[in-house]
Amino acid sequence: MSRHSGQATKILFVDDDPGLRTVVPIALAKDGHEVDTAGNGMEALSKFDAGKYDLVIQDVRMPGIDGLELLARLKEADPETPVVIMTAFSTWDVAVAAMRLGGFDYLKKPFDNDDLRNMARRAIEFRTAAEDKEGDGGAVRFIGSSPAVKEILDLVRRVAPTDSTVVIEGESGTGKELVAGLLHAQSPRRSGPFIAVNCGGFSETLLESELFGHIRGSFTGAVADKRGLMELANGGTFFLDEVGETSLSTQVRLLRALETRTFVPVGGEKPLKTDARFVTATNRDLREMMEAGSFRHDLYYRLNVIPIRIPPLRERRDDIPLLAGHFLATYSQRFHKDLKGFDSRAMEALMRHSWPGNVRELQNVVQRAVSLAEVDSVGVEHIAPFWKMEAESLASAPEAGSGAVRAIPELPDAGFDLEKTLQDIESELVREALEKTGFNLTKAAELLGISFRSIRYKVKKLGLEY
């Protein structure tokens, strides 16, 4: 289905105006596109076939099949082919409705040849980028159908092609990094680098040296010159995660870099240029921090040109079935299982849970359920046993596998149930061993230094298997 470069791209142009059906193909032919035309929706549908066109450009007001209906039918026939709509009565409503139906973008009539050709180029590049991604194991997708998610995706689609700075706000696990990736993938910088740095992961000196690079000898440990990530992000997108964790002095440097598009390495004098688009994320309330004096006003306003807020999963429960289904399909395929879905009690449990770890938690829960389920659909027994532990480990260590120090529980004055506590610890370790080994009992037993018989016994006793 994918086209090779050098091969002419094919466009289907649908409009009831015969004048446009004459001039548009001529304009598009200048860029080497081959154009078929259709005068109404029926004709368009009869010409269309999945994979046949690289792009469809269609009118909204047409006799016969209404433009939005045509768009919906085209998307049903082939969700991959980008469709651009043209609207003379450029009401925002029609454009938004079209975007929600999966339209790529819209062109306001009247448009000139440049608008048309730019749009076509963007849509086709986008498609090519998506195909390239598929080769790497699937394009980035932000799953969800709640009004909040649709709004986020609309906004992403509109701001991705621009160079505006964006702040993505949301609790841990809501998909901030995924949105940053989308902004990059849908931008003209997509062939450039996507550089992400977690500002919370470094001391002030090390963070500045990561960001801006340093000159040899500028601080203890700086044994050689080092290039900063800001330099590496040149031509691409620079994603500053947990930007609320930066010190006030790092904030001054960041602001400088944003304003002047230049930066000076730590210990250096000569400013270096950078041309990167800045996207930031935070799970803290920057406005509150600003009022408290720990985040600079000027940087806040500079970064926050376009705010994108991702609500926690518990505030958009409509998305749960879709997300759960998506993860079920992903992991069923990965674990070679043929799971049909969730039974009604399992779905009810998913819908009711509060999801403190948001989508990341849902993903983990479904992954485990899939690896446990030996029947054809996931039941509540594959989900619930892990919740207590999940909530606890999320509260103490948001990033799984970060090597967090485990606390031995303190002995309360009132005393506690030693058997039960030991069993909890045992259960946690057995579960971890199972996960690490993809639920291979033999390997898990090896990891724990126990016999196969003994792990089988423990797994049963601890209720980790059904």
Ligand X SMILES: Nc1ncnc2c1ncn2[C@@H]1O[C@H](COP(=O)(O)OP(=O)(O)OP(=O)(O)O)[C@@H](O)[C@H]1O
Contact between 330 and 322 under an 8 Å Cβ cutoff? The reply is no
* Least distance between ligand X and beta carbon 367 (Å): 10
Contacts 24+ apart (CB under 8 A), 135-144: 139/185, 140/178, 140/181, 140/182, 140/185, 141/326, 142/175, 142/178, 142/179, 142/182, 143/319, 143/322, 143/323, 143/326, 144/316, 144/318, 144/319, 144/322, 144/323
Q: Verify binding: residue 322, ligand X, rule CB under 6 A.
A: no
* Least distance between ligand X and beta carbon 149 (Å): 7
Among 186, 363, 393, 427, binds ligand X (CB under 6 A): 363
Q: Among the candidate windows 18-26, 174-182, 205-213, 290-298, which touches ligand X by CB under 6 A?
A: 174-182
- Give the three-state DSSP class for 226: strand
Burial class of residue 110 (count of CB atoms within 10 Å of its CB; 0-12, 13-18, 19+): exposed
Q: What is the largest CA-CA distance in the chain?
A: 88
Q: Verify binding: residue 202, ligand X, rule CB under 6 A.
A: no
* Least distance between Mg ion and beta carbon 429 (Å): 27
Q: What is the footprint of Mg ion within residues 20-39 (CB under 5 A)?
A: none
Number of residues that bind ligand X (CB under 6 A): 17
Q: Verify binding: residue 172, ligand X, rule CB under 6 A.
A: yes
Q: Say which amino acid occupies 343.
A: D
* Least distance between ligand X and beta carbon 333 (Å): 15
| Those residues with Cβ within 8 angstroms of residue 349's Cβ, 6 or more apart along the chain or in another chain | 380, 383, 384
Closest CA to 124 of 60, 188, 68, 71: 188
Q: Among the candidate windows 45-53, 168-176, 306-314, 397-405, which touches Mg ion by CB under 5 A?
A: 168-176
Among 67, 103, 173, 379, binds ligand X (CB under 6 A): 173
Among 45, 129, 143, 306, binds ligand X (CB under 6 A): 143
Number of residues that bind Mg ion (CB under 5 A): 2
Contact between 273 and 311 under an 8 Å Cβ cutoff? The reply is no
Binding pattern to ligand X, positions 238-277, x when CB under 6 A?
A: ----------------------------------------
Q: Verify binding: residue 142, ligand X, rule CB under 6 A.
A: yes
Q: How far apart are CA 394 and CA 359, in angstroms?
A: 12
From Mg ion, ligand X, none, interface partner of 58 (C-beta below 5 to 8 A by class):
none
Q: Verify binding: residue 398, ligand X, rule CB under 6 A.
A: yes
Q: Verify binding: residue 170, ligand X, rule CB under 6 A.
A: yes
* Least distance between ligand X and beta carbon 244 (Å): 11
* Least distance between ligand X and beta carbon 337 (Å): 20
Q: Verify binding: residue 177, Mg ion, rule CB under 5 A.
A: yes
Helix (H) or strand (E) holding 282: strand 277-282
Among 144, 265, 379, 385, binds ligand X (CB under 6 A): 144
Q: How far apart are CA 362 and CA 149, in angstroms?
A: 16
Q: Verify binding: residue 312, ligand X, rule CB under 6 A.
A: no
Q: Verify binding: residue 245, Mg ion, rule CB under 5 A.
A: no
* Least distance between ligand X and beta carbon 102 (Å): 16
Q: Say which amino acid occupies 190.
A: R
Q: How far apart are CA 233 and CA 419, in angstroms?
A: 54
239: left (phi over 0), alpha (psi -120 to 50) or beta: beta
- Give the three-state DSSP class for 133: helix
Residues that bind ligand X (CB under 6 A): 142-144, 170, 172-178, 283, 323, 359-360, 363, 398
Residues that bind Mg ion (CB under 5 A): 176-177
